[in-house]
């Protein structure tokens, strides 16, 4: 059984994918390809991606065919229990396949790439810093649920609670495609756990998402445009961290972009990571220049008038995306990483 809309576009063309996979298998079977380990690694990575995609296609077709047979048998035997279970499985199957339908929108140059995600607390001290940490947890849980890998690159801890800022790297196919519309201001309304008078507070934090770029993408960076500072890592660390200036901050003077890394004990390695992040940020800046909507975003103003999503915990529960109108009454589930409906609405509505 075929699922017509599952084959929409090149991403969902199994014949095209199978042809590309065969070509890659022929290339990797050649001894010459191993003379260039980097190129061989890229080929093997793409081969693994294609194999995974084709397996999902085949599993989807098999599952749908099995469900159809099960429903037919249940109807013939008037087995209401089996029919109910089959219908529940069909709903889950539809949600599963719909994720791949959404991915047909991933046509951008960097959509398939890994990505960096930054969170910065807005004005408001502990309140905003706690909110920034809640957002970090939300995205981390989402990534873990989707089996993406996470790397913590930088984190500045708040004085009392939460974080002032953090940068994580999310690794996996289409990570940037899924998260690219999360850049913007996120607003929280709740009864403050830090207010002895139990008053309602509004907090802001900014999220910034940009793709990891490889060496195929050329980004011109002049040494004269850079200011490089070193400092001591702010995390708990081990006996080496916090005792040497191993963390690195790079400022790109023409754009004002600042990136930093303290993930490694080696200053040299942190400098390399920060430079990779800068290349990615500058590339993402060029991508945004092509998008009229994103030109209006202002990362520096973390406050009223710039928010893309509101998370209201008091006096009622509601999470609402202000761009797409998508909303969810179970705010706890959203903050626990269940943000797919917001991501899907943004992808289909804003791309």
SS3 state at 260: strand
* Residue 255, number of CB atoms within 10 A of its CB: 12
Query: In terms of DSSP H, where are the helices of 290-336?
Result: 331-335
Q: Considering the domain boundaries, does residue 155 fall inside one?
A: yes
Using CA atoms, how far apart are residues 351 and 349, in angstroms rounded to an integer?
Answer: 6
**pLDDT (0 to 100) of residue 252:** 93
Residues 87 and 157 occupy one common structural domain: no
What CATH number corresponds to the domain at position 27? 1.20.58.410
Residues 71 and 148 occupy one common structural domain: no
Q: Considering the domain boundaries, does residue 110 fall inside one?
A: no
Q: Where are the beta strands (DSSP E) in 72-199?
A: 115-121, 149-157, 163-171, 184-191
Query: In terms of DSSP H, where are the helices of 146-266?
Result: 175-179
What CATH number corresponds to the domain at position 133? 3.30.70.1660
Closest listed residue to residue 18, CA positions, set 29, 10, 30, 28 = 10
Residues 337 and 232 occupy one common structural domain: yes
Residues 14 and 145 occupy one common structural domain: no
Using CA atoms, how far apart are residues 20 and 23, in angstroms rounded to an integer?
Answer: 5
SS3 state at 12: helix
Q: Which residues pair with 320 in a beta bridge?
A: 310, 327
| Inter-residue contact 79 to 87 (CB < 8 Å) | no
Residues 6+ apart with CB under 8 A from 330: 317, 338
**pLDDT (0 to 100) of residue 331:** 96
Pick the last residue of a domain from 61, 84, 105: 105
Residues 122 and 210 occupy one common structural domain: yes
Locate 257 and state its tokens: 């972009």
**pLDDT (0 to 100) of residue 241:** 44
**pLDDT (0 to 100) of residue 137:** 97
| Inter-residue contact 47 to 21 (CB < 8 Å) | yes
Helical (H) or strand (E) element with 100: helix 80-102
Residues 180 and 315 occupy one common structural domain: yes
Pick the last residue of a domain from 81, 105, 129: 105
Residues 187 and 325 occupy one common structural domain: yes
Averaged over successive runs of 10 residues, the pLDDT of the chain (351 residues) comes to 40 74 87 81 79 79 85 87 84 76 76 92 90 97 93 90 94 91 94 82 93 76 90 58 74 92 86 89 80 48 72 94 95 96 89 66
Domain with 250 in it? 115-350
**pLDDT (0 to 100) of residue 351:** 66
SS3 state at 311: strand
Residues 70 and 213 occupy one common structural domain: no
**pLDDT (0 to 100) of residue 304:** 53
Residues 83 and 119 occupy one common structural domain: no
Closest listed residue to residue 116, CA positions, set 333, 283, 295, 294 = 283
Residues 149 and 88 occupy one common structural domain: no
pTM score = 0.71
Q: Considering the domain boundaries, does residue 51 fall inside one?
A: yes
| Inter-residue contact 70 to 82 (CB < 8 Å) | yes
Q: Considering the domain boundaries, does residue 255 fall inside one?
A: yes
Residues 163 and 279 occupy one common structural domain: yes
User: What DSSP character marks residue 50?
Assistant: H
Residues 23 and 164 occupy one common structural domain: no
Rounded-to-10 torsion of CA 2, 43, 139, 236: 160
In terms of phi and psi (left: phi > 0; alpha: psi -120 to 50; beta: otherwise), the region of 222 is beta
Pick the last residue of a domain from 56, 79, 105: 105
Q: Considering the domain boundaries, does residue 88 fall inside one?
A: yes
Closest listed residue to residue 347, CA positions, set 77, 55, 11 = 11
Task: Order across the sheet with 247-252: list the strands.
Answer: 226-231, 247-252, 257-261
Using CA atoms, how far apart are residues 242 and 234, in angstroms rounded to an integer?
Answer: 7
Number of domains in the chain: 2
């Amino acid at each position: 059984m075929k699922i017509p809309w599952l084959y929409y576009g090149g991403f969902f063309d199994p014949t095209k994918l199978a042809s590309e996979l065969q070509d890659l298998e022929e290339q990797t079977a050649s001894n010459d390809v191993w003379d260039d380990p980097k190129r061989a690694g890229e080929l093997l990575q793409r081969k693994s991606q294609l194999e995974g995609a084709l397996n999902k296609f085949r599993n989807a077709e098999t599952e749908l065919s099995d469900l159809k047979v099960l429903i037919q048998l249940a109807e013939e035997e008037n087995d209401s229990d089996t029919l109910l279970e089959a219908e529940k499985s069909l709903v889950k199957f539809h949600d599963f396949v719909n994720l791949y339908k959404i991915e047909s929108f991933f046509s951008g140059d960097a959509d398939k790439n890994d990505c960096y995600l930054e969170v910065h607390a807005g004005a408001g001290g502990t309140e905003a810093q706690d909110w920034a940490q809640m957002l970090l947890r939300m995205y981390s849980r989402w990534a873990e649920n989707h089996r993406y890998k996470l790397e913590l690159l930088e984190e500045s801890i708040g004085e009392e609670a939460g974080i002032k800022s953090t940068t994580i790297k999310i690794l996996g196919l289409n990570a940037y495609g899924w998260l690219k519309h999360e850049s913007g201001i996120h607003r929280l309304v709740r009864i403050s756990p830090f207010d002895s008078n139990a008053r309602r507070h509004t907090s802001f934090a900014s999220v910034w998402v940009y793709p990891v770029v490889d060496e195929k993408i050329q980004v011109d960076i002049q040494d004269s445009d850079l200011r490089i500072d070193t400092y001591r890592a702010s995390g708990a660390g081990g006996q080496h961290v916090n005792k040497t200036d191993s963390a690195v901050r790079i400022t790109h003077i023409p754009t004002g972009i600042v990136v930093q890394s303290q993930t490694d004990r080696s200053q040299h390695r942190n400098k390399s990571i920060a430079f990779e992040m800068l290349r990615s940020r500058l590339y993402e800046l060029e991508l945004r220049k092509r998008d009229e909507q994103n030109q209006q975003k202002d990362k520096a103003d973390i406050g009223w008038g710039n928010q893309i999503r509101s998370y209201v915990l008091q006096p009622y529960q509601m999470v609402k995306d202000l761009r797409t109108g998508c909303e969810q009454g179970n705010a706890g589930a959203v903050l626990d990483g269940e943000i797919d409906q917001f991501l899907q609405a943004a992808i289909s509505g804003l791309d």
